[in-house]
Amino acid sequence: MAFPQSSTVHRKDLEEVAEIPSPGCRADLPLEAAPAEPLAAPRLRSILSAETVGLAKNFSGPDDLRLRDGHGRALTDLRLSVTDRCNYRCVYCRTGSEGAQFTELPIDSYLRMVRVFVSLGVEKVRLTGGEPLLRHGLLDLIREIARLRPAFSSAPLDIAITSNGHLLAAMAKDLKRAGLNRITVSMDAVDAETFSRITRIPKSFERVRDGIRAAQDAGLGTVKVNCVLLRGFNDSQIEAFAEFSRREQVIVRFIEFMPLEEGRSWSREMVVPMREILTRLSAVRPLVALPANHASETARRFTFDDGLGEIGIIAPVSEAFCGHCSRVRITSDGKLRTCLFSQSDHDLIGLMLRGATDDEMISWIRRVVQWKEARHHIGEPGFLKPSRSMVHIGG
């Protein structure tokens, strides 16, 4: 089934690629003819001039080749949506009357994009959707990504997925064998009736719970469970999720509701802020703060006084964390987005289809990310909701 192409808004200030290569150039070769791994930093520096990659002529070392935005932030995390389809119709996300709206690309196209971003310093790749486990060829994509090595780090590439978990029980072992490191499961209630009311899919809770357990058995790290809280709808689940974290040995992360839903009905009154969540959790057992794993981590981390269970709180509305943002996003139809709340997409797949080489893609990407937003403006006067809803961007 074909879906309509998205419209793309381009910033007038961005330069276009100066030349489109002629037939027979490297970009016209089949993807299999490209190197299986990105070139290491010393090799990159030897073949790419400063002008080619959009850098100053006096760059002094490998780290100067890292992808950075106009605010000096290193962009090390890539969120790649591989499908716009989803088998759930969660009420805070979708209206229920609209399905997929944007196309999917061939797996080889996604792989080429990932290779280019890894060569620029991306160290974490998260596959999203829609629901990524619906995507045919997903295991092949993971296998190929797992062969890549970061350009500026000796650590292996970190490969993760965000899933609703409905298909996870049957796929967990295959995902692990393909090279997946970690999984995050979206799960907005631990009460089966509430969960089905949110997803609008009967008996969905048991499927997701079994998927979480299968992922743990397969060795997919400590599973993270994301819960988007809406006041008056599922905020009664906070204490139950604390017990779920302790009982199932998962990391529960509460996420403040953001204006990213398809129905565009967000209001600040629907947000359950971080301080309220902490107050209620502390009534279960005293909380102990945990240090951040890295500066760009989105969640504030806590455990309980006996060390059992972990809770994270992602609070973009009440406690914005944009200052250390390290993320860029690619939509299922191949558009580069510099922020969840961007007003524009940048047509990366269009560049590829016009025959751009990897070097030209690198130069174009560097120019685009110079426009990455310093922060979002949720709740401020004049705030504009993003040009796409969350499900059409990729979580």
Cβ(19)–Cβ(352) below 8 Å: no
Tell how strand 300-304 and strand 335-337 pair up: unpaired
pLDDT for the residue numbered 387: 63
Low-confidence ranges of the chain (pLDDT < 50): 1-60, 264
The CATH number of 68-393, from 3.20.20.70, 3.90.870.10, 3.40.50.9100, 3.30.1330.80, is 3.20.20.70
Amino acid at the residue 208: V
**Dihedral angle of Cα 140, 143, 145, 147, to the nearest 10 degrees:** -140
* b/e per residue 85-119 (b: at least 16 CB within 10 A): bbebbbbbbbeeeeebbbbbbebbbbbbbbbbbbb
User: Distance (Å, rounded) from C-alpha 326 to C-alpha 122?
Assistant: 9
DSSP 335: E
Per DSSP, the residues of 112-174 read HHHHHHHHTT--EEEEESS-GGG-TTHHHHHHHHHT---SS-SSPPEEEEEE-STTHHHHHHH
> Going by C-beta distance under 8 Å and a sequence separation of 6 or more, which residues neighbour residue 123?
76, 77, 150, 152, 153, 155, 157, 158
Q: Which helix (H) or strand (E) holds 79?
A: strand 77-81
Cα separation, 97 vs 21, in Å, equals 43
The alpha carbon of residue 33 and the mean position of all alpha carbons in its chain are separated, in whole angstroms, by: 28
Q: Provide the pLDDT for residue 159.
A: 98
**What's the pLDDT at 3?**
33
The contacts found for 301-309 with CB under 8 angstroms, 24 or more apart, are 302/278, 304/242, 304/246, 308/246, 309/242, 309/245, 309/246, 309/249, 309/252
C-beta of residue 79 within 8 angstroms of C-beta of residue 128: yes
Which is nearest to 182 in space by CA: 226, 124, 222, 128? 222
Question: At a CB cut-off of 8 Å and minimum separation 6, what does 327 contact?
Answer: 75, 77, 78, 79, 296
Residue in 364, 368, 322, 314 with CA at minimum distance from that of residue 341: 322
Residue 302 backbone phi and psi in degrees, to 5: -145, 155
How far, in Å, CA of 213 to CA of 232, rounded? Answer: 29
Q: At what angle do helices 204-218 and 192-199 cross, to 10 degrees?
A: 100
pLDDT in the model for residue 190: 95
Residue type, 374: A
CA separation (Å) from 351 to 16, 25, 347? Answer: 9, 15, 7
Query: How much is the pLDDT for 221?
Result: 85
Contact predicate 81/129, CB 8 Å: yes
DSSP β-ladder status, 327-330 and 310-314? unpaired
CA distance 95 to 361: 36
pLDDT of residue 42: 41
